[in-house]
Amino acid sequence: MHETSHAKNELEHERGYVDGLYRRLDQLREEKARQLAEVRRSASAGSHQNRSERDAFATMYEDRLAQLNAVDDRLVFGRLDLDDGEERYIGRIGLSTEDLQQLMIDWRAPEAGTFYQATAFERMGVRRRRHLILSRRDVVAIEDDVLDAGLLSNDGSLQGEGALLAALNSRRTGQMSDIVGTIQAEQDRIIRAPLSGVTVVQGGPGTGKTAVALHRAAYLLYTHRDRLKSAGVLLVGPTDAFMKYIERVLPSLGETGVVMAGIGTLMPGVTTVPEHDEGAAALKGRLEMAQIIRNAVANRQRIPAEPRRLNVEGTMLTLAPRQVARARDRARATGKPHNEARVTFVKILLRELTEQLTEQLEASSGPGNNADRAYLAEDVRSSRDVRIALNLAWMPLTPEKLITELLSKPAHLAAAAPHWSEEDRALLLRPADAPWTEADVPLLDEAAELLGELDASAGRDTAAREAENRRDLANAERTLENVNASLVDSGVDGVVTAEALAQHNAVSTARLSAAERAAGDRTWAFGHIVVDEAQELSPMQWRLLMRRCPVKSFTVVGDIAQTSSAAGSSSWDQALEPFVGDRWQLEELTVNYRTPAQIAEAAVRMATAAGLVISAPKAVREGRFAPVVDRVPDLIPALLQAVPEELDIVDGGLLAVIAPEDQLDDVRRALTAEYGDRVGSGAGGPTQDIVLMTPRGSKGLEFDGVVILEPQLMLDSATARVGDLYVAMTRPTQRLRLISTGTIPEGIEG
């Protein structure tokens, strides 16, 4: 906008209005902080019901305060001037005066949709769309889209071009920024799509897939609050680095109620590492693993080959194979999971053994002996021989124990997967103490479904249970002593009982949000699931996610051309057909906002020359630099010579060095020796402006500059995929450099 007197006046007007919005935001913060403090001061007195009500208010105030704190940066970003003369400000949340006069509309509200959707060809009642460009709380510039066809030509392809390009050209920080002020029409249409069903968002690099996914999660929670508040929304990403990269976006959009999880974290209590063996990952990802795990569970319900003699208080009983078989069949007929059906199995055999013991004792004591035999059932139940026999026939199991033994004992795996070749089974076998991998999580989840809850007391004798109960009681008594002492110190009269403590704990649990409860509950059924980089998921991982959302309400985001996992998908139909048939809708993003045209074109040429079928989204901007290609005799010296030049070019931005996995350690040692703590991994940290990673580790991330080492190796190694190099080449927003001691992949140099 030209620096005219009118322009200056408009800028000053907007600064005044925005100052008023921030004053209102600060007033609301102070109000909620005061209300929260009052509730907390009164929380320790009164009845349990009163405390429960106060806890509910405290949770409400805490959530609102968190939201108000999260939206401080660039609170407002737009204004609509409508045909009827109304001026409508658009921001991260809705704001009103104390007498409910509207000051700003939440970007997710229906009335705000025209900010993203209106064009010169379909104005939707909008005369002008104004973009407010803020730095923190300060309005630094304004930009107008005049939509009156007689005043300004506009093809509707880009909205707020100056604001958009300013955002694209800004330095990367290692944390993803929201695009709420620069959402484009094709993105907005997907963000506001209906909740129900499966929406697939296919988009090449730089098209804003992840941003669309995050903004859609925020929009759905706002629009369908009643339905999703209790069920929650799950957002699944490919790596821990990726989840860290995006973690601030949703709070900045006014949402704190989404469960964000890497695919390897979806089994509560289990810590995982990446699955580096691609052969094992591919096998574990097959849907037939579900049947193999089912076989493994069935194989733990055993019938002895011969009758077993059992000593019960000096009397010998016989447990016949036919008895075990009959009890097993009746337990299976209940349809309950393994551990729950075991109760039926044990109950049947304990009753039959008690009857057998009763008959033997009555026979040995002679006729007419009608002594009370009620204690005999306990004798049978507590017999060591009986416990061993029942556990051998039907052992209570945890998912971890079942899968550990399946993958570490050749006989167990052979019995569960007899149709597999020895070579395939050998790929899965590993030591019993091996760490869990991301590919194991769906197997553990499947086992948990088949096994059900484990009775903590199953398989242990009475003495052991009583000893544990005594330990628990002693711990509880010590806890109560500490609680009562704290109350006395606080000036509160009275003694806390175990019952009161239990009620207090129940209230504390009730205070948790749906997101907090869902994060620790494997069986939680979400109202909607958003999956980013979804092309990487194996069929078993899809099976796990479908179980988490029985209503099959999904937003699936990815790019088939970027598939790098051996267990990933080659088409969306392949990924989804086993679970939802053809009941899914495809949306495509067609514009590359991130990658400069010169770099995007080189990546497309390389991928096409290597035989990869890709969609090539149109880049919206020319960069300052064409890709730089260095052919060198020695890799490390060339890298150390190139890095200072690249750091100077990105000028305080973020530089990624992407290398084949087998060269990562050597490169890290060299960079760390030269740059120390400035070298990081993933998306970096506050003081780390050089990050080192593999091509797959860079998936979903973006950097100001990228240096790729040995690009041909990314195509030639045994585990390589064309998509890996394609992903690496499309990460930069400004500059791409490739360094090779060998050949350069065809197409990169035009």
Give the annotated binding-site residues for ATP: 203-210
CA–chain centroid gap for 47, Å, is 39
Q: Please enumerate, by residue number, every residue annotated as part of a binding site.
A: 203-210
Residues in the chain: 750
Tokens found for residue 163: 């604001």
Helices (H), 437-586: 441-451, 462-489, 498-511, 514-519, 539-548, 572-580
CA 331 – CA 347 distance, rounded (Å): 10
List, edge to edge, every strand of the sheet that includes 655-658: 628-631, 732-740, 703-709, 655-658, 690-693, 679-680
Burial (CB < 10 A; 0-12, 13-18, 19+), residue 455, is: middle
C-alpha span between 254 and 106 (Å, rounded) = 9
Q: What are the tokens at 183?
A: 């959402």
Cα–Cα distance, 15 to 141 (Å, whole number): 10
Q: Which two tokens stand for residue 179?
A: 């695009």
Phi and psi at residue 262, in whole multiples of 5°?
-75, 155
Distance from C-alpha of 711 to C-alpha of 745, rounded to nearest angstrom: 7
Q: How far apart, in whole angstroms, are the C-alpha atoms of residue 549 and residue 360?
A: 55
Q: How far apart are CA 217 and CA 201, in angstroms?
A: 13
Taking the C-alpha atoms of residue 464 and residue 544, their distance in angstroms, rounded to an integer, is: 36
Q: What DSSP element (H or E) covers 24? A: helix 5-41
Burial of 326 (0-12, 13-18, 19+ CB in 10 A): middle
Q: How far is 595 from 413, CA to CA, in rounded Å?
A: 47
Q: Residue 693 forms beta bridges with which residues?
A: 658
Of 432, 434, 451, nearest to 522 (Cα)?
451
**Alpha carbon 364 to its chain's center:** 66
Angle value at C-alpha 21, between 16 and 24, nearest 5 degrees: 125
Q: Which long-range contacts (CB under 8 A, 24 or more apart) does 414-422 make?
A: 415/295, 415/296, 415/299, 416/292, 416/293, 416/295, 416/296, 416/299, 417/292, 417/295
By the 10 Å C-beta count (0-12 exposed, 13-18 middle, 19+ buried), 526 is classed as buried
Token pair belonging to 340? 């729950």
